[in-house]
Structure 1
Amino acid sequence: MFTVRPYKKEDAAACGNCFYEGFFSCPMDQNDKILLCDYAQILIEKCNFTYVAEAEDHQVVGFICGKYDKHFSKALSAQYETKKHYGRWCKMFLKFYLKRYKMSVPFQKQFDAFFRQLQERDKESFGKCDLELVALSSRRNYRKGLGTALVTQFLNRAKADGADRVRLFTNTLASWEFYEKRGFKKVAEKPFQDGSGNQSLVYEYVLKEHEYEKHHL
């Protein structure tokens, strides 16, 4: 059983751990943890809302965050549940590019690869939506039912706020099958620029369409 609740700033370190287990496989030292904690906090504070999942032992074991498009709602896109820290963002990236995080070699290699994957995202391929599912991440040992609980809360929030079209960016190196099983449909794909054969993927969930199906089956 999981309890899903709004994110609090004290959850940043735990979200960093979730992020690590969601996207990395190499060993991680204390310097690597500091970077991921900073990265997770900034990622979350760029979004309009974030939910975390707590296990029965009160550990934060997963999180999901969303960002509204200003063309859908200027009011919602300007609304944040956590205080944004632009100074923290600038400080982190300056520190990163000056190599002051002192990351371990294996982690640096995986983080650089992860960052290159993010750069595959482009506005034209992503298209327009009301709400973007920016990140979903969880601890490995708690995944059964956790992602579903977080996505359900996310879509309930979208519906309550009047959003209809949700999109997310992922790729063939990630768990894209998870989204297909939960009703998301692939609307765009594009080969990686590095010629590796991997694909960037854009998935969409239309709330009104699923509400119609629910009441007419």
Structure 2
Amino acid sequence: MFTVRPYKEEDAAACGDCFYEGFFSCSVDQNDKILLRDYAQILIEKCNFTCVAETEDHQVVGFICGKYDKRFSKALATQYETKKHYGRWCKIFLKFYLKRYKMSAPFQKQFDAFFRQLQERDKEIFGICDLELVALSSRRNYRKGLGTALVTQFMKRAKGDGADRVRLFTNTLASWEFYEKRGFKKVAEKPFQDGSGNQSLVYEYVLKEHEYEKHHL
């Protein structure tokens, strides 16, 4: 069983661990964990809201973020539930681009590959949605209901805020099947620029249509 609650600032390191478990397979050292924590913090603070899932012994094992489109709601798009640390952001970005994070060689290789995957995303293929599901990480409790608990809470929030369409960006290297099993439909795909045969994917969940089907079938 998992409890899903709003993110707190002290969850940053645990969310960094979840980020690692969701996307990397190599071993990491303390310097690698500093980058993971900082990356998770920036990601979370860029979004309008974040929820974390924790176990009965209060260990954070997953998180999910939501980002509103201004065309859907200017009020919600400019409302942030997590404090933004702009000064810390600047220091993190500068440290990253000056290559001052002392990453281990195995983690550096995997992180570079992850970063290249992020650059495959473009605004045109992503399109317009009311609410973007930005991140869902952690395989520590894979197949134990963690992802379902987080997505269920996310959808409750989306419905409560009046969003019609939720979208997420992923690729064929990630667990996109999870979303298909939960009613998300693929609405766009694009081959990676490196010719590897992998695809960038956009999935969408239309809340109002699903509500209609539930009450009329």
- Structure 1: unaligned runs, 5 residues or longer: none
In the alignment, is the contact (CA less than 8 A) between 1:42 and 1:88 conserved in 2? no
Alignment map for 1:67-106 (pairs within 5 Å):
67-106=67-106
Deviation at 1:91, TM superposition (A): 1.2
Deviation at 1:142, TM superposition (A): 5.1
Q: 1:141 aligns to what SS in structure 2?
A: coil
Deviation at 1:161, TM superposition (A): 0.6
Relative to structure 2, which stretch is displaced further, 78-87 or 19-28? Answer: 78-87
In the alignment, is the contact (CA less than 8 A) between 1:185 and 1:203 conserved in 2? yes
Deviation at 1:89, TM superposition (A): 2.0
Deviations 1:57-107 (A, max 9, x none): 110000000100011100000000011122222211210121211000000
How far apart are the structure 2 equivalents of 1:79 and 1:143?
A: 33
Deviations 1:34-76 (A, max 9, x none): 0000110110000000000010111000000010001110000
How far apart are the structure 2 equivalents of 1:61 and 1:201?
A: 25
Relative to structure 2, which stretch is displaced further, 90-99 or 134-143? Answer: 134-143
Alignment map for 1:36-115 (pairs within 5 Å):
36-115=36-115
Q: CA RMSD in A?
A: 0.9
How far apart are the structure 2 equivalents of 1:198 and 1:46?
A: 27
Deviation at 1:143, TM superposition (A): 4.5
Q: Normalising by the residue count of structure 1, what TM-score does the alignment of the two structures yield? A: 0.98
Q: 2:64 aligns to what SS in structure 1?
A: strand
Deviation at 1:180, TM superposition (A): 0.2
How far apart are the structure 2 equivalents of 1:5 and 1:184?
A: 23
Deviation at 1:136, TM superposition (A): 0.5
Deviations 1:12-43 (A, max 9, x none): 00000000000000000000000000110110
Deviations 1:186-213 (A, max 9, x none): 0000000001000000000000011111
Deviation at 1:174, TM superposition (A): 0.1
Q: Normalising by the residue count of structure 2, what TM-score does the alignment of the two structures yield? A: 0.98
Instruction: Label 1:143 to 1:11 Cα distance change in 2 as closer, same or farther (>3 A).
Output: farther
